[in-house]
A and B are shown apart, each in its own frame.
Chain A
Amino acid sequence: MNALEKKAVVNTEKPQEQASARGRVLVLIDGSKMSYAALTAAAGIAGKRNADMLGVFVEELNLVRSAGYGFSREVGSVSGISRPFDPGILEQRMRRLADHARVALAEAVKQRGGRAALSIARGHVIEEVLALAGPDDLLVLGRAGWSSPAGARLGSTARRLIRQAPGQVLLWCEQRLPYQKRVVVFLNDHEEANHRAALAAAEIARHYCQPVTVILETDGEPAADQIEAIRQDLDVIGPGTRLQILSDTNPLTVARVLREERASQLVISRECALFNAPGAEELLAALSLPVTVTP
């Protein structure tokens, strides 16, 4: 049997289940363009879910401390020019960023409706976020990156949060190619995780009016009951759904499948074998599309 075997299953029934209003939508704002793009996306989701928004702005302690040294200098990420870096400059910049975050959050909420709050804390980003996020919350963050191309790199904060966050994490990235038009969800043999991932994919598909491709990872022939469970999930997802069975979790194969499917968004569960496969992080880093990681 080939490593990749395609099976198309078209679900013609209408979705029976609406995503219920769940917890808050947390969005991590660090002043970068990517974080503001994530804020816009988060506001859209919150509007659809009718959920509250919580902007999280963390003044990274290590950064604050590093500005305290008299010899500290900041090297520009684009120009490479080195210039003095002192607490006064940093404080001023932090305040400006926080103010800007507040305004941006208010703007985003004003457009989409709903309530929003901004949490400003000083500490370590991951700890502060984990302290705020609950299992029902959706955490939205932009891919932090050192440099171009935008969103191509997965920052260390993002890497840790997608693994450690108690609930769903949406790793946002601005889409570049207009012909990407399918939501791809990876499923495997963990039934509950599959269901959660399927629900998330269904919500995204509805939000963006795009069909879903379900990719089932399995070592051999999938069991009949497994197929049946997935079919039930497909009913949830909605019409136009396609099912593919993939027996190879090599990140390169996955990347090719995603290209072939013209994936616009990816949904994957932390329980999924692919997520824990070696090279998965590099794959996520290389993908230029929003990724939703479900528990």
Chain B
Amino acid sequence: MSLPTPLTAEQVYHQCPLDQLDFDTTDALKDLDLPFGQERVLRALEFGASMRADGFNLFVLGPAGAGKHELVERFLAKHAEGQPVPSDWCHVHNFDFSDRPRAIGLAAGQGRQFKKDMSDLAGELRTAIPATFESEEYQARLQELQEEITKRQQQSLFDIQKEASANNIAMITTPAGFTFAPMRKGEVIDPEDYKSLSDEEKALIESKIEELQKKLQQAIQQFPRLRKELRERSHTLNEEMVQLTLGGPINELREKWRHVPAVVDYLDAIREDVVEHAEAFQDSEKGPPNGLLDRYKVNLLVDNAGTSGAPVIYEDLPTHQHLAGQIEHRARQGTLYTDFTLIKGGSVHRANGGYLIIDARRILSQPMAWESLKRILFSGEIRIESLERLYGLASTMSLQPEPIPVSVKVVLLGNRMLYYLLSQHDPDFLDLFKVEADFEDDLNRDDESYGLYARMIATIARQLKCRPLGRAAVARLIEHASRLAADQRKLTAHDRVLRDLVSEADHWANRSGTATIEVEHLQQAIDEREFRASRVRDQSREQIARGIVMIATEGEALGQVNGLSVLRLGASMFGRPTRITATARPGKAQVVDIEREAKLGGPIHSKAVMILSRFLASRYGGDGELSLSASLAFEQSYGGVEGDSASVAETCVLLSAISRLPLRQAFAVTGSMNQHGEVQAVGGVNEKIEGFFEVCRGAGKVRGQGVILPATNVEHLMLNSEVRKAIADGDFSVYPVTHINEAIELLTGMDAGEADEKGKFPLGSFNRAVASRLRRFAEASKKQGGRKGSRERPGEESRG
């Protein structure tokens, strides 16, 4: 087998061809309206935004910083432009049930007019009705009415008094009422003199007095009826006067608003209410109480007068109250009051007829907000209720505004995990969010995409009000975008990182006083970002350089190899070599994964160790039993190991331990392996290679070191310039391998050896050495087993 060829500097980095960029600076490029490469999202948005059926709300999923919000807002703003402006909504007092304010929907822009009309009407009522009550006509009619009733009341008493006088009986006022007594010459007869009257006279007088008393009783008992009649007739008079005063303005408004039956009904209700409270308007000095007139106000909840197209609302704090609105209270002398004017609309009200953008994580972290949103979407109407009422914590009387019908398209923004969790655990979720708009993480890098990506960078620079980027800077940014995507054929779609880089590069360009962002400014931005995040990386490398963490980068060693791992800290990641060691001795076929035994290994790592264990058994065990007791460990690793990217290294080190053949320490190995020994791609190759390169450099001069990696990872390489230079100078090598044998040959310098049809490896090959040693292990085990068996069963003959 021939050794794999090391990669050239060109193979480990995909340069951006400058001839693909046909401009001097990004100023020459037009803005990109919609991002390229996101067809899936755009088609989903287009469909979701246009689909009118219920439940076709959108969930836009993608990683943080992908520019979801910006794209969705931009797309919807454009989409909503041509759509009709939705209605205005207002709450007005309900004169039948004051705790249930009515909702009135009006054409866009008419809400303000309606509010003004009602305010003008209230102003007119404030002055016109007291003026009516003050008018000569009203006063005269009221007085006539009162006089008539008083006269009727008094007349009945006068009649009795007159009758009494005619019969010589005095009707005398007492402190509490009236009494009758016989009279002579205008004076009450002295009771003593009365005794001298004849019995007939006395009987006559007394019977008359009794009769008069009865009449008086009857007359007085009629007074409440008369007073009631006075009240009723006064009320009728008030009604009549108010009707006359109100007739003009109310009819004018009825005519004006006749196209809105709800307003006409409301105006009729106002007319009846004013008539009912006519007396309250009579004070011309203070005017009618404010509380009365306030009821004729209009609470304009949704004002679309200034809206063009359908509204696109982003709710940045999606609490229950902010979404569904709330009923506020006013404190007055320690008591809380509310009325329909204190009803405040929520973002769903404002977005009604349009689009509401909400961050999924935020809404899920607000108490009851998610449930409230689902309730609104299911019912198709918004009910404004406080949380304490929903929870049943408060039983005090409050308002129950009439629900407002709602037709809103909700666009949730969130990461994929949230989408899948919601799909899994919330049975309502997929009923309500039927449209999934999945953001691409990476974009294809081909000849067509260079121009578009450059335009995207130009758009970002303009949006951020940064200097234009020079052609080389754009090329460098494109290359860095490939590095961020960890793929020579991809470009990152992460909007935030690009924006941050452009901003930072603009800062460095500003510091150097240039009018454009050049490649060195961009490189400085990249380097500075890396430097800021490099504290842990540098500490780790220092420990290796000082020998505290032992990593050999030259010579040969038995049962020892350099594995490569990647550490992710926040937004940055770096690679670090790790010494992997192995031991081997005869025993029952088992490979002890020390990491797993110590509960430091994750399940994927355990799986990889099991795979390599089965690989060994099938490759070297043949039909017999494999006698091996081996162990594997990541030395000086205390934080846990996960992943299968070390399985090639583990296999090699284990084979070295079995065969007692040393491995070259100038190599670091990464790659996963299947049961047939084929090498499979792994992640983080750039960081791993750069990490090992730095460690070699820290240990002295870089000469002859290299990294063995899966051949399928080659197109993921976007190595930094220092590594590229070392490769070009022949000081550092990157070897792509497809099979474990290639790695073995590179690490040992020996032929790995292919098994013949009998399963025997050629003499002098590495695999032959492994197979021979394993056979010796098996023999040793058998002997040991036989001795053990004869001790246990004396007299039994040992076989095999």
Contact = CB atoms under 8 A, between A and B. Distances in A.
Interface in A29-69: 30-32, 60-63, 65-69
Contacts of B221: 79-80
Contacts of B284: 179
B141 to A, nearest CB: 13
A291 interface: no
Interface string B150-162: 1001100100000
Contacts of B178: 74-75, 77
Given A79-B220, A153-B150, A73 B179 contact: yes
A147 interface: yes
A32 B177 CA distance: 11
Nearest to B285: A179
A63 B154 contact: no
Contacts of A286: 143, 147
A97 B175 contact: yes
A30 B175 contact: yes
Chain B residues touching A, majority SS: helix
Contacts of A67: 179
Given A62-B187, A147-B223, A76 B153 contact: no
A259 interface: yes
Given A68-B191, A72-B179, A149-B146, A81 B154 contact: no
A105 to B, nearest CB: 17
Contacts of A178: 283, 285
Contacts of A153: 150, 154
Interface in B161-180: 170, 172-180
Given A75-B220, A256-B136, A31 B179 contact: no
Nearest to A153: B154
Interface in A62-105: 62-63, 65-69, 71-82, 85, 90, 93, 97
A144 interface: yes
B216 interface: yes
Nearest to A65: B188
Contact of A66 (B139, B179, B285): B179
Contact of B181 (A31, A66, A144): A66
Contacts of B170: 62, 66
Most chain B beta carbons < 10 A, residue from A67, A71, A75: A75
A72 B147 contact: no
B217 A71 contact: no
B145 to A, nearest CB: 12
A93 B175 contact: yes
A146 B157 contact: yes
Contacts of B173: 63, 144, 146
Most chain B beta carbons < 10 A, residue from A30, A144, A179: A179
A16 interface: no
A31 B157 contact: no
B209 A71 contact: yes
B181 A72 contact: yes
Contacts of A62: 170, 172, 181, 187-188
B378 interface: no
A20 interface: no
B220 A32 contact: no
B176 A80 contact: no
A77 B177 contact: yes
A193 interface: no
Contacts of A144: 173
B175 A146 contact: no
Nearest to B183: A62
Most chain A beta carbons < 10 A, residue from B206, B217, B219: B217
Interface in B105-146: 136, 139, 143, 146
Interface string B271-303: 000000000000111000000000000000000
B15 interface: no
Nearest to A282: B147
B24 interface: no
A52 B216 CA distance: 42
A40 B260 CA distance: 59
A280 interface: no
A76 B188 contact: no
A79 B178 CA distance: 11
B33 interface: no
A33 B441 CA distance: 92
B213 interface: yes
B188 A31 contact: no
A2 interface: no
B143 to A, nearest CB: 8
Contacts of A90: 174
A161 interface: no
A197 to B, nearest CB: 26
Given A69-B194, A80-B216, A32 B175 contact: yes
Given A65-B189, A144-B173, A80 B220 contact: yes
Contacts of A66: 170, 172, 179-181, 188
Contacts of A97: 175
Most chain A beta carbons < 10 A, residue from B147, B172, B177: B177
Most chain A beta carbons < 10 A, residue from B139, B174, B182, B220: B174
A152 interface: yes
B220 A77 contact: yes
B206 A71 contact: yes
Contacts of B154: 146-147, 153
Contacts of B153: 147-148
B190 A65 contact: yes
A67 B220 CA distance: 21
B218 interface: yes
A30 B143 CA distance: 28
A82 B213 contact: yes
Interface in A189-241: none
B468 to A, nearest CB: 77
B233 interface: no
Nearest to B192: A68
B223 to A, nearest CB: 7
A65 B174 CA distance: 12
B199 to A, nearest CB: 13
Given A66-B179, A75-B177, A80 B172 contact: no
A111 B154 CA distance: 37
B139 A74 contact: no
A59 B173 CA distance: 12
A101 to B, nearest CB: 12
Contacts of A79: 220-221
Contacts of B139: 259
A197 B180 CA distance: 41
Contacts of A81: 217
A77 B172 contact: no
Contact of A63 (B157, B174, B182, B223): B174
Contact of B176 (A72, A77, A148, A259): A77
Contacts of A75: 177-179, 213, 216-217, 220
B783 interface: no
A286 B176 CA distance: 24
A20 B219 CA distance: 50
A66 B178 CA distance: 10
A159 to B, nearest CB: 14
A78 B190 contact: no
B227 interface: yes
A63 B153 CA distance: 23
A152 B188 contact: no
Contacts of A80: 216-221, 223
9 contacts: A62-B181, A63-B174, A65-B191, A77-B220, A80-B221, A85-B179, A147-B154, A148-B150, A149-B150
Given A62-B188, A72-B179, A74-B174, 5 more contacts: A68-B190, A71-B209, A73-B179, A74-B179, A80-B217
Q: 7 closest pairs, A vs B, by CB? A: A66-B181, A80-B220, A68-B191, A80-B221, A65-B188, A62-B188, A77-B177
